[in-house]
């Protein structure tokens, strides 16, 4: 299986332009024979907590139809970060679009204290199955919650996919933590982080791939858009800029 993580610079609040950027990278992933591609936290809208309630979408949003069409025709799974509507409020979610299947949602369960005034927690921990692989999704702060990665391991996940919006000030700690998770639980770990600025803070980039012993296989820089492709059978990685 070939699995991709994208590193992009989202335009705050501009779903139309961000969708176009997503499509560009999905098409690129397809051209390299990828089976799945995942994007950073809230990639469709940018990380904009104060605007999230106005930007929130649901699984039936017609703006997702283009991604479903590509998924169906190219047999690729697409994971897009977006705020989503919930009966209790707004969730930080990953919309999972699969070929010829109903769309699925993973909503962040462990929120940072700063996020709790804007978002509510998700309740379920679905495992995404692709062939012989089981993928657990973690959204940003969740990688700091020991219960999250432990739960992924206990559910049989062998791939841990972290979708984040990490700033430069905290990226080194994040990279160390993900390497430790890979080693402790014998899971391949992938990180999709964003670049750009928000509220005066710089996103760190450095999207990465670690093998199941915690060894870094590949990493993007801190300022350039691109993607990493991992071949899970050969453990070979490709860097696409």
pLDDT tens, 62-113?
Answer: 999 999 999 999 999 999 999 999 999 999 999 999 999 999 999 999 999 9
Q: By CB neighbour count within 10 A (0-12 exposed, 13-18 middle, 19+ buried), where does 197 fall? A: exposed
| pLDDT of 126 | 84
If one counts the domains in the chain, the total is: 1
Res. 125: pLDDT tops 90: no
Q: Which domain, by its residues, includes 9? A: 2-240
| pLDDT of 198 | 78
What are the Cα distances from residue 104, in Å, to 21, 51, 119, 159? 21, 23, 19, 18
Would you say 13 and 51 are in contact if contact means Cβ atoms under 8 Å apart?
A: yes
What are the Cα distances from residue 101, in Å, to 72, 75, 77? 9, 11, 10
| pLDDT of 219 | 98
Q: 54: which 2 tokens? A: 């106005």
| pLDDT of 201 | 83
Q: Classify residue 225 as left (phi > 0), alpha (psi -120 to 50) or beta.
A: beta
Domain harbouring 148, CATH code? 3.60.110.10
| pLDDT of 147 | 96
Among the ranges given (69-83, 124-138, 177-191, 225-239), the one the predictor scored with the smallest mean pLDDT: 124-138
The helix (H) or strand (E) run that includes residue 68 is: helix 65-74
Percent of the chain at pLDDT > 70 equals 100
């Amino acid at each position: 299986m070939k699995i991709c993580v994208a590193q992009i610079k989202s335009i705050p609040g501009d779903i139309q332009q961000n969708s176009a950027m997503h499509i560009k990278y999905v098409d690129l992933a397809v051209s390299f024979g990828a089976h799945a591609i995942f994007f950073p936290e809230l990639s469709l809208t940018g990380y904009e907590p104060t605007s999230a309630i106005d930007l929130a979408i649901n699984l039936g949003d017609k703006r997702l139809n283009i991604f479903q069409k590509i998924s169906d025709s190219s047999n690729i799974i697409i994971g897009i970060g977006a705020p989503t509507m919930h009966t209790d409020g707004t969730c930080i979610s990953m919309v999972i679009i699969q070929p010829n299947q109903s769309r699925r949602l993973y909503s962040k369960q462990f929120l940072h204290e700063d996020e709790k005034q804007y978002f509510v927690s998700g309740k379920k921990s679905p495992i995404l199955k692709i062939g012989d692989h089981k993928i657990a999704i973690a959204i940003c702060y969740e990688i700091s919650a020991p219960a999250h990665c432990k739960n992924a391991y206990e559910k049989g996940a062998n791939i841990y996919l972290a979708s984040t919006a990490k700033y430069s000030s905290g990226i080194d700690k994040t990279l160390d933590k993900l390497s430790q998770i890979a080693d402790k639980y014998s899971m391949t770990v992938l990180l999709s982080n964003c670049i750009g600025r928000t509220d005066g803070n710089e996103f760190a980039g450095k999207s990465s791939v670690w093998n199941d012993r915690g060894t870094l296989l590949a990493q993007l820089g801190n300022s350039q858009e691109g993607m990493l492709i991992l071949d899970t059978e050969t453990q070979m990685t490709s860097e696409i800029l």
